[in-house]
Structure 1
């Protein structure tokens, strides 16, 4: 799987960081802070790209993987209880404090175009969401929201699991809506301390995305 990205090397004091963004942010990718839950919507293209980013996070423990999505929610003007968020994935060994993100983000610059070659996530991989609830399981996500960004901090295993989840959404979401009109296809992500992330496939129709972006006010 070839993934076009932009590489950034911002500095904070003496420290230099690696930040990786997709070369093009998909139009139909939306993450909303909905008070008790985090709601996310992706069409097939966006879900496939996001699967690649989660796979990249699994193989890049020294990098922050940044998917800027807030611009996609701006047109819907969601209320204060459902505000658009960006997403950052980072390996727990990096020990990056989310409180430093706003300053680091301001220093990203234009970056450098690059293409990474990743093994595609296995769409048939079994996704064991219940295992992440086990107290003895160390492969769990840490979740923080800071500076309009959701930070998901985890291990390589958790990111591979997330990659498989988004690949599953891209593979089965379109078929579900086509075969069963009026239904929806979704998956869920959990963290040890934090809120459930509800991830729903949304077909690329103007009506669907208008509803997703404005549901906070309805």
Structure 2
């Protein structure tokens, strides 16, 4: 798949960081900080783009991948009206060791960026794309996401493997969601990205109709 992105760089002290954003953030994508889950709503285009960003994070361990979508909350489907605060999303490889508490400072220093087109393999939304919750939460499985929320932004910190797994989950949402909505009278189609047992899973839902 081909992603059109912008590359931003900024320095914090002696260290320069690279931030990758989609050239055109999706209009029909929202993420909310709810009491029990982190909930997201995506249409097909947004889910497809977001799948690409997770795949990009898997191949870009020295970069932060930023999806700025919290401004979309005002246009969210009715199902989201009871949700709490809207969030942006940052995907962060654990090897970068960036402290999410410094995100607000880094974000304020980012300029317009420069355009870059990236070609990536299409994430595989096969039957094993979403590991069973029991597998993801097994105490011996240390290859899993950790999450933090800072400055209205959800940070998902993980490994190459976990980013690829999440990319396949979003690809499945993009591929299967429209058919499920059509064949089941609009009944929602959802998937989950599992995280560390101490955190909340990321629950994502396909939404075809937006205001």
Q: What is the aligned length?
A: 205
| 1:28 aligned residue | 28
* 1:32-64 deviation digits (Å, cap 9, x = unpaired): 111222110000000000000000001111000
| 2:108 aligned residue | 106
TM-score (norm 2): 0.93
In the alignment, structure 1 residue 155 sits paired with structure 2 residue 159:
yes
Runs of 4+ residues over 4 Å off in structure 1: 78-81
SS at match of 1:17: strand
In the alignment, structure 1 residue 194 sits paired with structure 2 residue 196:
no
1:81 CA displacement: 6.0
How many angstroms apart in 2 are the aligned matches of 1:125 and 1:103? 41
User: Retained in 1: the 8 A contact 2:91–2:157?
Assistant: yes
Query: Which structure 2 segments of 5+ residues have no match?
Result: none
How many angstroms apart in 2 are the aligned matches of 1:203 and 1:118? 26
How many angstroms apart in 2 are the aligned matches of 1:152 and 1:106? 20
How many angstroms apart in 2 are the aligned matches of 1:48 and 1:150? 19
TM-score (norm 1): 0.90
How many angstroms apart in 2 are the aligned matches of 1:81 and 1:158? 27
In the alignment, structure 1 residue 128 sits paired with structure 2 residue 127:
no
SS at match of 2:195: coil
Q: How does 1:53-92 map to 2 (within 5 A)?
A: 53-75=53-75, 82-92=84-94
CA distance 1:55–1:125, shift in 2 (3 Å):
farther
* 1:124-150 deviation digits (Å, cap 9, x = unpaired): 251213321111112110110110000
- Name which of structure 1's ranges 85-94 and 185-194 shifts more when overlaid on structure 2: 185-194
Q: How does 1:157-172 map to 2 (within 5 A)?
A: 157-172=161-176
How many angstroms apart in 2 are the aligned matches of 1:53 and 1:160? 10
1:80 CA displacement: 9.6
- Name which of structure 1's ranges 80-89 and 57-66 shifts more when overlaid on structure 2: 80-89
- Name which of structure 1's ranges 132-141 and 97-106 shifts more when overlaid on structure 2: 132-141
How many angstroms apart in 1 are the aligned matches of 2:126 and 2:199? 28
| 1:214 aligned residue | none
CA distance 1:125–1:60, shift in 2 (3 Å):
farther
CA distance 1:59–1:128, shift in 2 (3 Å):
same
User: Retained in 2: the 8 A contact 1:66–1:88?
Assistant: yes
User: Retained in 1: the 8 A contact 2:56–2:120?
Assistant: yes
